[in-house]
Amino acid sequence: MSGWTIGIIGGSGLYDVEGIEDGDWVDVSSPWGAPSDQCFVGRVGHVKVVFLPRHGRGHRISPSDLNVRANIDVLKRLGVTDLLAVSSVGSLVEDRPPGSFTIADQFIDRTKGRPSSFFGEGMVAHVSMADPVCPRLSALAADAAKAAGAQTDVGGTYLAMEGPQFSTRAESYLYRSWGCHIIGMTGMPEAKLAREAELPYALVGMVTDYDCWREGEEAVDVAQVIAQLSANAEKARAMVMHLLRALPEERPATPIDTCLDYALITAPHVRDPQLLAKLDAVAGRALNK
């Protein structure tokens, strides 16, 4: 057992976390390209914290243009052991109103053309995504969200759409018929890549709007989203601090820590050395066994 290093990916409206001690912005290079921004590295008590603004400070990067592989890679290089993602989402159900938080436990990926794996020709791997989030970290996030005063819905299916446009009404009705609870543009392939990097992952969806499925109501627009972001971000900062302060000093291992042991399939003698070099951070533990 060892200590925690919690990675936090901040979504729309959450570009910093107050209360991190001895922190500084650091540059980390990645063989997968440039991450969204520098990482802010510090501590809260005995917990090391690494914060990365998903869209960059000032919200410079569109969901479709995020270099998610680089983001996950630099977090892994900085020693992150567990990854909390905070994302702004729309609600697809009546009882999850703007201002509420959903702790997602399932995803449907409707993104298009985004690189969704670190692996490929020359080093093939197939990780299980049956249960795409870490139950331990998700439970800790749920407790922290409740302590921060947010209506907290534990469990829910996140529909990941491509964007950057919002849904058509037909799409919104379709996603509701599939049983989805929230909709966003960034949860995938982020959750897939976190699993390939053996990072236990949890996603907190901060609801800003009702998408466009409600009869007789205006469709979502950026002005509506921005109006809700500030209140959500304050709750999110409080949630993060509650979570970090509640962690025990020792971090017990989880099966996700070693999930690549059951995923690598390419025979060692035909593995691509160039791809293996790029995988040094995310898969080095398994590849070097």
Q: Which of 211, 221, 261, 280 does the annotation list as catalytic?
A: 211
Rounded distance between C-alpha atoms, residue 150 and residue 205, angstroms? 11
* Token pair of 213 as six digits: 């499925």
* Token pair of 91 as six digits: 């609600």
Per the annotation, the verdict on 105 as an active-site residue is no
Cα-based distances in Å from 77 to 7, 44, 87, 269, 284: 11, 20, 23, 26, 11
Find out whether 199 and 74 touch, Cβ atoms under 8 Å.
Answer: no
**E strand or H helix at 222:** helix 222-246
Find out whether 198 and 168 touch, Cβ atoms under 8 Å.
Answer: no
Backbone torsions φ then ψ of 188, nearest 5 degrees = -120, 140
Q: Extract the runs of DSSP E, i.e. beta strands, from the chain.
A: 5-10, 21-26, 39-44, 47-53, 82-91, 101-103, 106-110, 152-154, 157-161, 182-184, 201-209
Report the amino acid identity of residue 44: V
Rounded distance between C-alpha atoms, residue 71 and residue 76, angstroms? 9
Per the annotation, the verdict on 153 as an active-site residue is no
Strand-pairing partners, residue 203, are 85
Of 122, 126, 87, 123, which is closest to residue 107 (Cα–Cα)? 87
Q: CB under 8 Å to 213, separation ≥6 — which residues?
A: 92, 169, 172, 173, 176
Q: Which of 37, 82, 109, 209 does the annotation list as catalytic?
A: 209
Catalytic positions, written as ranges? 209, 211
